[in-house]
Chain A
Amino acid sequence: MRATIGWLLLSRFLLSLATLLFVATAVFVITNLLPGDVAQELLGQAATPEAVAGLRTALGLDVPPFQRYLAWLGKLLTGDAGLSLVNGQPVAALIGSRLGNSLILAGVTALVAVPLALTLGITSAVWRGSLYDRVVGASTVLVVSVPEFLVASAAVLIFAVHLQWVPALSQLGRINGLFDAIRVFALPVMTLTFVVVAQMARMTRAALVDVLSSSYVEMARLKGASQMRIVLWHALPNAIGPIANAIAFSLSFLLGGVIIVETIFNYPGIAKLMVDGVSTRDLPLVQACAMLFCAAYLVLVTAADVAAILANPRLRQG
Chain B
Amino acid sequence: MAAIADTRPRRTRNLTRIIAPVIVIAWLLVAVFGPAIAPYDPAAIQDADLFEGFSAKFLLGTDYFGRDMLSRIIAGTRQTLGIALVATSLAVTTGLMLGLAASAIGGFFDAALSRFLDALISIPSKMFGLVVVAAFGSSVPVLILTLAIIYVPGCYRIVRSVAVNVAALDFVVAARARGEGTFYIMTREILPNMVSPVLADFGLRFIYVVLLLSSLSFLGLGVQPPQADWGSLVRENISGLAYGAPAVVLPALAIASLTIAVNLSIDAFFSGRVREGVH
**A→B interface (CB under 8 Å):** 18-19, 22-23, 26-27, 30-34, 129, 133-134, 137-138, 141-142, 144-150, 153-154, 156-157, 160-162, 168, 202, 249, 252-253, 255-256, 259-260, 263-264, 274-275, 277-279, 281-283, 286-287, 290, 293-294, 297-298, 301
Interface string of B19-42 (1 = CB under 8 A from A): 000000000000000000000000
A231 to B122, CA, bound (A): 34
B50 at interface (Cβ–Cβ under 8 A)?
no
Count of chain A to chain B residue pairs whose CB atoms are closer than 8 Å in the complex: 150
Instruction: Please indicate the chain B residues that have their CB under 8 angstroms from the CB of A260 in the complex.
Output: 215, 218-219
Q: Is the CB of A150 within 8 A of B253?
A: yes
Q: Which residue of B lies closest to A259 (CB)?
A: B126
A252 to B214, CA, bound (A): 20
B24 to chain A, nearest CB (A): 13
B186 at interface (Cβ–Cβ under 8 A)?
no
A147 to B125, CA, bound (A): 14
Instruction: Please indicate the chain B residues that have their CB under 8 angstroms from the CB of A279 in the complex.
Output: 220-221
A176 to B112, CA, bound (A): 56
Q: Which 5 A-B pairs have CB atoms at the shortest separation, nearest pair first?
A: A150-B252, A146-B256, A286-B134, A22-B119, A278-B134
Interface string of B229-248 (1 = CB under 8 A from A): 00100100010011110001
Q: Is the CB of A275 within 8 A of B221?
A: yes
A32 to B135, CA, bound (A): 7
A286 to B134, CA, bound (A): 7
Q: Which residue of B lies closest to A21 (CB)?
A: B119
A192 to chain B, nearest CB (A): 14
**Prevailing SS type, chain A contact patch:** helix
Q: Which residue of A lies closest to B5 (CB)?
A: A137
B124 at interface (Cβ–Cβ under 8 A)?
yes
Q: Is the CB of A168 within 8 A of B130?
A: no
Given A141-B263, A153-B252: 5 more A-B contacts, CB < 8 Å? A27-B131, A33-B135, A259-B215, A279-B220, A281-B135
Instruction: Please indicate the chain A residues that have their CB under 8 angstroms from the CB of B249 in the complex.
Output: 150, 153-154, 157
Q: Which residue of B lies closest to A20 (CB)?
A: B122
Q: Is the CB of B127 within 8 A of A290?
A: yes
Instruction: Please indicate the chain B residues that have their CB under 8 angstroms from the CB of A138 in the complex.
Output: 4, 7-8
Q: Is the CB of B124 within 8 A of A252?
A: yes
Q: Which residue of B lies closest to A137 (CB)?
A: B7
B71 to chain A, nearest CB (A): 21
B217 to chain A, nearest CB (A): 10
Q: Which residue of B lies closest to A278 (CB)?
A: B134
**Given A145-B1, A150-B255, A161 contacting B131 (CB threshold 8 A):** no
Q: Is the CB of A275 within 8 A of B130?
A: yes
Instruction: Please indicate the chain A residues that have their CB under 8 angstroms from the CB of B4 in the complex.
Output: 138, 141
Option from B122, B137, B259 in Cβ contact (under 8 Å) with A146: B259
Q: Is the CB of B131 within 8 A of A290?
A: yes
A151 to chain B, nearest CB (A): 9
Instruction: Please indicate the chain A residues that have their CB under 8 angstroms from the CB of B2 in the complex.
Output: 141, 202
Instruction: Please indicate the chain B residues that have their CB under 8 angstroms from the CB of A33 in the complex.
Output: 135-136
Q: Which residue of B lies closest to A151 (CB)?
A: B252
| 16 A-B pairs whose Cβ atoms sit less than 8 Å apart in the complex | A31-B134, A141-B263, A146-B211, A146-B252, A147-B218, A147-B255, A149-B252, A153-B248, A156-B242, A161-B244, A253-B279, A256-B125, A260-B215, A263-B219, A277-B134, A293-B124
A30 to B120, CA, bound (A): 13
